[in-house]
Structures are given as C-alpha cells and as structure tokens.
Amino acid sequence: MTVSMTINEAVERFLTTISQARSENTALTYGNAMALFLEVLEKNHLNPSENLTESLTEESVAWMISRLKDHAPSTERLYLTATTRFFEFLASENLAVINLPRIQMLIHQRARRPGQRLPMFPRDNIEIIVEHMLSKSYAQTDDPEEKLRNLRDRAFLVTLADTGLRVHEACGLRRGDIDWNEGKALVIGKGNRQAVVRFSTRSLVTIKDYLAARAILDGSAGKPLASLPLFARHDKGAGKKVKPITTTTGREIVADWVKTILGQDAIGTITPHSFRHYFVTRVLHSSGNLKLAQELARHKSIAVTQRYAHLNDDELDRGYFDIFEDSKNTKIE
C-alpha cells in the first residue's frame, strides 16, 4: 500500500536519506540534480505540489534526459544516476508504483554515453615543480610566517606527487594518521572507503621539516598533537589556532606555485588532481604492473587504471621509427 505524499515531500525525504548516508559532496550533487528534476516537471506542466502517486510517471525521466542535453555528458550521467536513485527510493519505500525496468530502458536508449578520455597533464612540468620544491633555496625568506607557509606548501605538493592522495584526503589528514615508522597513513577515501596510503622518504622528510617549524604553534594549541591537522592554515584568519587547510586552499597552493615556478601562461594547466594523474602514470611506467597501480591509486575498477596504461610519445616515436625507418624501409628506388 502506497503512502499519500506530494512530489516535493518525496524529494525532500529522499534527500534527507542521502545526506545521512553519503558524503557532503554527494548530497550536494543529488540536491542539485533533484532541483533540476523539479524544474523539469514544472516546465512539463506537472506541479511538484501535486500528489505523488497520481501524477509522477516514468516518462518524467525522458523529460529529464531531454533537459540534460545542454549539459556535459558526464553531468548528464551523474544527474540521471541521482534521478534513478530517487525512483528506486520511491519503490523501496512503497511511496509509488514504479516501473524500474522502463526507466533503465529510457536511459539506455536516449542518454548519451560519455567517451573515455585519457587524463591529460603536463608531466614534465609537474616534475619541474617537485624538483623546485625539493631545492634548498625555494623557501629562503626572513619572514617566519612566509617560511612556514613555504614549508607547508613544499610538504603538501611533494605529498600529492608521491602518494596519489586526492586533495580532500590530503587536506583532511591529521598528525596522528601517519605511522612514521611504517611510512603509511590510514585515510577515508572516495565513497567513504578506508584505505592505506604509503609515503615516500622524501615526502616524510618534507612533512617533518614543516612540523618542526610548526612546533611552537602546535605546542600552544592545547590539544593532543595527534589530533592536529597535518597541513594547517597560516593566515590572519587562523591567528594562533591550528586549523586544517580547506580544499580551496589546497587548490590555491597548487595554482600559486604553478604561477611562481612555471609562469603566468601555465596557470590552469596543473591542478591538485594532476598530481594524482602523475602518480598513477609514474607507477605504471616504472613497474608495468596494472594491478599494482590500481591498488596504490585505490581505483575501485581496474578499467579506470587502464586509462593510464597508454604509451607515452617517446615510446610511440621509437616504435614508429623502428618499423618505418630501418634500413630496408628507407631505400628509395
């Protein structure tokens, strides 16, 4: 027996369950998708304040697909996933009688299929940034606050390059998360999955240098050291408090050093996620082991890792010229 409820009320109840079970970012995305869905209903003369069981049909998914054609294919798939989950929620909660196979058929027949693009990033430029950050001269300054920020940024960028951490994972690290003897940390990654991340010797050295410079600030925080953020804010807003950097700050750190090291023209070519691409590609090129790269990158599907398993331009050049420029093929009669 279905429960009497308006479409608006059903959406609100659905989003409440999502916010309780999923991450903040996922809940925000689902909220945006549902807002667009309600807009689509209104444009097709279906009032969201009407009774759910008497007005909402699977055809509304087809309306949603049409509305999403002016969005990127990846956004379309994301929003359609949220819409499908909404209808599954209605069915599971007995809020409406839903023909789920018809919804799946509509999406299969009418939705676009986003193409698989190889992750593009300037690998050589990332290596230039890392080498610059590891040099002894980069952080020389008479300003103690500036030096502290430089040491933090150095540790942050080298950590991104050598661990494959996502920016929100790096920003969320606490001092106590790292096992200094093992060179590992336990993190809560994408999809709230717990995983072990390994740290290189050079990343640990840069982190220790930064924390040593931060010792007085941490000691006066009045909190256990293990609970303090690994990467802290050093701005007027934070004052003497030890507050974690946000993902926005993490992106700004990358952008600022890209501009400083590579120049104005390089702005926008490297993001925090570029360092993750660099990490995966480096593992693959060094080991040739796809499964190893998948595990270290913490990809749920090996299909994601396979996108990185392409030959670089140098290898393609060598392969081409070995075939077409050997002594037999270069003779012209």
- In the numeric block, which tokens belong to residue 326? 């050997």
Among 149, 154, 166, 233, the active-site one is 166
d(CA 65, CA 27): 21
d(CA 140, CA 255): 20
**Torsions phi, psi for 148 (to 5 deg):** -65, -45
Bridge partners, residue 186, by sequence: 196
What letters, b where the CB count within 10 A reaches 16 and e where it falls short, cover 164-187?
Answer: bbbbbbbbbbbbebbeeeeeebeb
Which of 118, 190, 199 lies closest to 162 in space, CA to CA? 199
Specify whether 112 is catalytic.
no
d(CA 287, CA 289): 5
Among 154, 214, 276, 282, the active-site one is 276
d(CA 302, CA 296): 11
Among 79, 210, 278, 308, the active-site one is 308
d(CA 333, CA 315): 30
Specify whether 45 is catalytic.
no
Question: Left, alpha or beta for 267 (phi > 0: left; psi -120 to 50: alpha)?
Answer: beta
Among 152, 154, 298, 299, the active-site one is 299
Among 190, 202, 243, 307, the active-site one is 190
Among 110, 123, 184, 273, the active-site one is 273
d(CA 309, CA 285): 8
Specify whether 166 is catalytic.
yes
d(CA 249, CA 34): 29
Nearest 5 degrees, angle CA 76-CA 78-CA 79?
65
Q: For residue 99, which amino acid is it?
A: N
Specify whether 190 is catalytic.
yes
d(CA 98, CA 57): 8
Q: List, by residue number, the catalytic residues.
A: 166, 190, 273, 276, 299, 308
